[in-house]
Amino acid sequence: MTDFNLSLNEDQLTLQKWVHGFAEDVMRPAAEEWDEREEFPWPVVEQAAEIGLYGWEIMAELMMNDPTGLSMVVALEELFWGDAGIGMALMGSGLAAAGIAASGLPEQVMEWVPQCYGDASDLKVGAFCASEPDAGSDVGGYRTSARYDEAKDEWILNGTKAWITNGGIANVHVVVAVVDPELGSKGHASFIVPPGTEGLSMGQKYKKHGIRASHTAEVVLDDVRVPGRCLLGGKEKLDERLARVRRGESGNAQAAMQTFEATRPAVGAQALGIARAAYEYSLDYAKERHAFGKPIIMNQGIAFMLADMATEIEATRGMIWRAAWLGKQRAFKNAEGSMAKMKAGRVATWVTERAIQILGGYGYTREYPVERWHRDAKIHDIFEGTEQIQQLVISRAISGLRIE
């Protein structure tokens, strides 16, 4: 087991500086435009791909070649410091990649993860489709069905997925579907829907409060037929797992939950980047803005707010880094990933709201970025498990009881 160490190694410091450079030079100047356009920022993602900041190789490097677990969260904090909407456009394919890696056989990972990214000359994105219009937190309520056609060795998918990042514009859609409705969330499996498959279409595209450069839409599956090899993990493993569950033996954790749990410290790092952006901006502003003949920071009312913001950000980073390290060592004890994600969402929402307060009327306008950061921060209390779902996970972990 690697020791938990708060000093970043040389590679991580280089990574941090490199990502920060892209965030400052490319993402920050583009942020307002893509937020207003509310469209996927293809040219910016292309620029990221050209320097190797978007692609399966960097994801593999961050996810697999780092025994400390810290590289991913360090990189994400910088990206989301640059801009959360574009940051999410860069990271959305990672949800699909993580879904494939969580349930797929090695050959499936090799085949499909690169197709979630393409390359700079032929950019692609991936989508992870779990949530449904009537079931977000309640994963046991999914209705999208997967039926096996043995004669053709094909799976037939039917249903509607909601809130899907990159939904309908993705090259590869990873779809969580119900193979045995009797088994609730233990009767799910994940499927690849390859590019150009008939029957998959985009439903409504959502108009959102924040992260507006990230594309979020419904995905409609109407008699979508995929070959048997598109079942992640393969049929043999699925049949064994379902048989174990039917015998009352504990099955593996549900496919969707596995993916979400593994990504929680990373989602916290996204929120942390937004919080830091807002804190730094409002600190500078408070030193420059004069009222009653002195900089507003000379009033304790403002300075103490900034002191609290800085403290919350430091505390949150400590939790995220430790959770990322624990996740890598497979050593979670009390749902520390959920704790870090929940704390980070709350802190980002609070810090960005305080930043608006410090900027006064200017903070409330779209001339200044803090209102956008506040809108962008809020999603971190909602996706990848709401604040209340994190509380549920944590309270079950600390009590050992099935809290409802």
**172-178/200-205 β-pairing:** unpaired
Task: Answer whether 25's CB lies under 8 Å from 53's CB.
Answer: no
66 versus 261: smaller Cβ distance to ligand FAD: 261
Q: At what angle do helices 387-399 and 336-359 cross, to 10 degrees?
A: 140
Q: Which of 220, 258, 271, 272 is nearest to 382 (CA)?
A: 271
140 versus 228: smaller Cβ distance to ligand FAD: 140
Task: Answer whether 214's CB lies under 8 Å from 89's CB.
Answer: yes
- 204 belongs to the binding site for ligand FAD (CB under 6 A): no
Binding test (CB under 6 A) with ligand FAD, winner from 40, 54, 155, 163: 163
Q: Give the 3-state secondary structure percentages of the chain, helix then strand then coil, rounded to 5.
A: 60, 15, 25
Task: Answer whether 203's CB lies under 8 Å from 218's CB.
Answer: yes
Catalytic residue selected from 77, 384, 387, 404: 384
Task: Answer whether 200's CB lies under 8 Å from 221's CB.
Answer: yes
Q: What are the structure tokens assigned to 246, written together?
A: 């039917």
- Where are the alpha helices (H) located in 218-335, listed in sequence order? 235-246, 255-288, 300-328
Binding mask 90-129 for ligand FAD (x = CB under 6 A): -----x--------------------------------xx
Nearest distance in Å: CB 25, ligand FAD: 26
CA distance 291 to 301: 13
- 191 belongs to the binding site for ligand FAD (CB under 6 A): no
16 versus 160: smaller Cβ distance to ligand FAD: 160
Binding test (CB under 6 A) with ligand FAD, winner from 2, 5, 9, 137: 137
Size of the site for ligand FAD (CB under 6 A): 22
- 386 belongs to the binding site for ligand FAD (CB under 6 A): yes
Nearest distance in Å: CB 296, ligand FAD: 34
- 382 belongs to the binding site for ligand FAD (CB under 6 A): yes
Nearest distance in Å: CB 387, ligand FAD: 6
Q: Name residues contacting ligand FAD, limited to 9-48 (CB under 6 A).
A: none
Q: Name residues contacting ligand FAD, limited to 268-297 (CB under 6 A).
A: none
216 versus 316: smaller Cβ distance to ligand FAD: 216
95 versus 116: smaller Cβ distance to ligand FAD: 95
CA distance 205 to 194: 21
Count of alpha carbons within 13 Å of 321, Cβ hemisphere only? 18
329 versus 386: smaller Cβ distance to ligand FAD: 386
H or E segment to which residue 218 belongs: strand 216-227
- 136 belongs to the binding site for ligand FAD (CB under 6 A): yes
- 142 belongs to the binding site for ligand FAD (CB under 6 A): no
Piece of the chain touching ligand FAD by CB under 6 A; list 51-59, 160-168, 191-199, 318-326: 160-168
Tell me whether residue 61 is one of the annotated catalytic residues. no
CA distance 55 to 93: 9
Piece of the chain touching ligand FAD by CB under 6 A; list 12-20, 79-87, 228-236, 381-389: 381-389
Instruction: Give Cα 137 to chain centroid, integer Å.
Output: 15
CA distances from 194 to 102, 176, 191, 231 (A): 18, 14, 9, 11
Piece of the chain touching ligand FAD by CB under 6 A; list 14-22, 132-140, 324-332, 339-347: 132-140
Active site residues: 384
Q: List residues near ligand FAD by CB under 6 A.
A: 95, 128-131, 136-138, 163-165, 208, 211, 216, 379, 382-384, 386, 388-389, 392
